[in-house]
C-alpha cells in the first residue's frame, strides 16, 4: 500500500508539472509601433534625435533597430553615412514629403535607406504582419504603383527568405501586409526592410538613377517570440515518466492481487 501511495503522489506531481508546461504561452506577441524610442547614443546621435543616418541605432518594443544607407551608397569609395531614416508623425514632420496618413509615430525609410530589426535579448522571433506606405516627394502624384517594399528575413539557421510587395502611391493611406503564411511560423534572427522604385523600363531599382526616391513608411509591426525549445522535451519527459509509473503501478497491483489469492 505504501508503495502504491508513493507512486500515486509521484504521478500527481508529474501530471501537475506537465499541465503547467502545457499551459505556458506558445509565444509573447507584441507590436512595434515606434511610440517609444530610445536612441543608442553616440558622438553623432543624441538621445533626443529622431532623424537617423546610416549606422545609427535605436531601441523600440524590445528590439534593436539599425538604420542603413542603401547598398549602392555604401558601395561608393567615398561613402559617408547620410540621411537614411526618421521616426515621424504625419501632422508634424511630413511637410516636405507626401507621407501616408498616420495619427501616431511611424518609421520612415528615406533616401533609399533600410531598417533592420532584431530582438534585444537575442531570442528568435516571428513576424505576422505590418502596416506600410509609400513616401513620395510630390503631393500631386496620381494613385499609381511607384515602388516596392522588400522584407528580407534571416532565419535562425542562417537561410534567408525575401518577400516583395508593391506600394501604391495613394497619398494619405497606410496599407496592411499579412506575412503570417510566409513568416508567422518561422524562427527569425533578424529582418531588414527596404524599398525600390520603378524606372521608365519597369525595373525596380535603388541606385543613383532613383534620385533618393526609394522611400517607405512602417508601422504596427506584429511580432512574437519563438517558444523556448526546452518546453517540449520537458513535456515529453514528464509524459514518459507518467507512462512508466502507470506500467509499474499495474504490475504492483497485479502482484498484490496474486499474493492475496
How many C-alpha atoms does 98 have within 13 Å on its Cβ side? 18
Look at 54 and 97; give whichever has higher pLDDT: 54
Neighbour count for residue 101 (Cβ, 10 Å): 14
Are both 127 and 90 inside the same structural domain?
yes
pLDDT (0 to 100) of residue 199 = 87
Q: For residue 6, give every residue at least 6 positions away whose Cβ sits within 8 Å of its Cβ, in sequence order, or none.
A: none
Are both 35 and 73 inside the same structural domain?
yes
Which residue is it, cell 514632420?
Answer: 93
Task: Tell whether the model's pLDDT for residue 186 goes beyond 90.
Answer: yes
Determine the Cα–Cα distance for residues 87 and 72; give it in Å rounded to an integer. Answer: 23
Determine the Cα–Cα distance for residues 153 and 144; give it in Å rounded to an integer. Answer: 27
Are both 19 and 51 inside the same structural domain?
no
Are both 191 and 80 inside the same structural domain?
yes
Are both 43 and 160 inside the same structural domain?
yes
Q: For residue 150, give every residue at least 6 positions away whose Cβ sits within 8 Å of its Cβ, in sequence order, or none.
A: 162, 163, 164, 193, 194, 195, 196
Are both 15 and 46 inside the same structural domain?
no
Determine the Cα–Cα distance for residues 141 and 100; give it in Å rounded to an integer. Answer: 13
Determine the Cα–Cα distance for residues 218 and 176; give it in Å rounded to an integer. Answer: 10
First to last CA, the chain: 16
Look at 169 and 28; give whichever has higher pLDDT: 169
pLDDT (0 to 100) of residue 200 = 86
Task: Tell whether the model's pLDDT for residue 240 goes beyond 70.
Answer: no
Task: Tell whether the model's pLDDT for residue 231 goes beyond 80.
Answer: no
Determine the Cα–Cα distance for residues 221 and 184; give it in Å rounded to an integer. Answer: 12
pLDDT band at 257; cut points 50, 70, 90:
low
| Interval 86-98 mean pLDDT | 75
Are both 104 and 84 inside the same structural domain?
yes
C-beta of residue 190 within 8 angstroms of C-beta of residue 175:
no
Q: What is the pLDDT of residues 212-225, one digit of tens each?
A: 889 999 999 999 98
Q: For residue 45, give every residue at least 6 positions away whose Cβ sits within 8 Å of its Cβ, in sequence order, or none.
A: 39, 52, 53, 56, 57
Are both 248 and 180 inside the same structural domain?
no
Are both 176 and 199 inside the same structural domain?
yes
Number of domains observed in the structure of the chain: 2
| Interval 249-258 mean pLDDT | 56
| Interval 70-82 mean pLDDT | 94
Q: What is the pLDDT of residues 17-46, one digit of tens each?
A: 555 444 444 446 799 999 999 999 999 999
Are both 183 and 221 inside the same structural domain?
yes
What's 193's domain CATH number?
2.60.120
Determine the Cα–Cα distance for residues 51 and 67; give it in Å rounded to an integer. Answer: 10
Look at 231 and 178; give whichever has higher pLDDT: 178
pLDDT (0 to 100) of residue 45 = 98
Determine the Cα–Cα distance for residues 95 and 168; give it in Å rounded to an integer. Answer: 20
Are both 123 and 251 inside the same structural domain?
no
Residue-wise DSSP of 111-163: TT-EEEEEETT---EEEEEEEEEE-BS-TT--S-EEEEEEEEEEETTS-EEEE
Radius of gyration of the chain (CA): 27
Containing structural domain, residue 124 = 29-225
Are both 63 and 160 inside the same structural domain?
yes
Q: What is the pLDDT of residues 94-108, one digit of tens each?
A: 766 778 876 789 999
pTM recorded for the entire structure: 0.77
Backbone angles phi, psi at 102, to 5 degrees: -160, 125
C-beta of residue 204 within 8 angstroms of C-beta of residue 196:
yes
Task: Tell whether the model's pLDDT for residue 233 goes beyond 60.
Answer: no
Determine the Cα–Cα distance for residues 159 and 207; give it in Å rounded to an integer. Answer: 26
Amino acid at each position: 500500500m505504501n508503495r502504491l501511495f508513493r507512486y500515486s503522489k509521484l504521478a500527481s506531481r508529474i501530471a501537475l508539472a506537465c499541465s503547467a508546461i502545457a499551459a505556458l504561452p506558445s509565444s509573447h506577441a507584441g507590436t512595434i509601433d515606434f511610440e517609444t524610442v530610445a536612441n543608442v547614443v553616440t558622438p553623432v546621435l543624441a538621445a533626443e534625435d529622431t532623424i537617423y543616418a546610416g549606422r545609427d541605432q535605436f531601441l523600440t518594443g524590445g528590439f534593436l533597430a539599425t538604420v542603413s544607407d542603401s547598398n549602392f551608397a555604401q558601395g561608393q569609395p567615398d561613402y559617408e553615412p547620410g540621411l537614411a531614416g526618421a521616426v515621424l508623425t504625419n501632422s508634424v514632420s511630413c511637410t516636405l514629403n507626401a507621407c501616408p496618413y498616420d495619427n501616431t509615430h511611424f518609421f520612415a525609410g528615406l533616401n533609399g535607406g533600410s531598417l533592420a530589426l532584431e530582438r534585444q535579448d537575442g531570442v528568435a522571433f516571428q513576424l505576422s504582419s505590418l502596416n506600410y506606405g509609400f513616401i513620395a516627394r510630390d503631393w500631386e502624384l496620381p494613385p499609381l504603383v511607384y515602388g516596392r517594399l522588400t522584407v528580407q528575413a534571416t532565419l535562425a539557421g542562417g537561410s534567408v527568405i525575401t518577400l516583395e510587395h508593391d506600394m501604391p502611391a495613394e497619398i494619405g493611406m497606410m496599407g496592411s501586409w499579412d506575412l503570417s503564411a510566409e513568416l508567422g511560423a518561422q524562427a527569425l534572427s533578424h529582418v531588414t526592410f527596404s524599398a525600390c522604385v520603378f524606372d521608365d523600363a519597369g525595373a525596380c531599382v535603388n541606385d543613383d538613377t532613383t534620385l533618393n526616391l526609394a522611400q517607405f513608411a512602417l508601422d504596427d509591426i506584429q511580432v512574437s517570440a519563438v517558444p523556448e525549445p526546452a518546453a517540449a522535451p520537458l513535456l515529453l519527459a514528464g509524459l514518459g515518466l507518467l507512462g512508466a509509473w502507470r506500467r509499474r503501478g499495474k504490475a504492483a497491483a497485479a502482484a498484490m492481487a496474486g499474493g492475496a489469492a
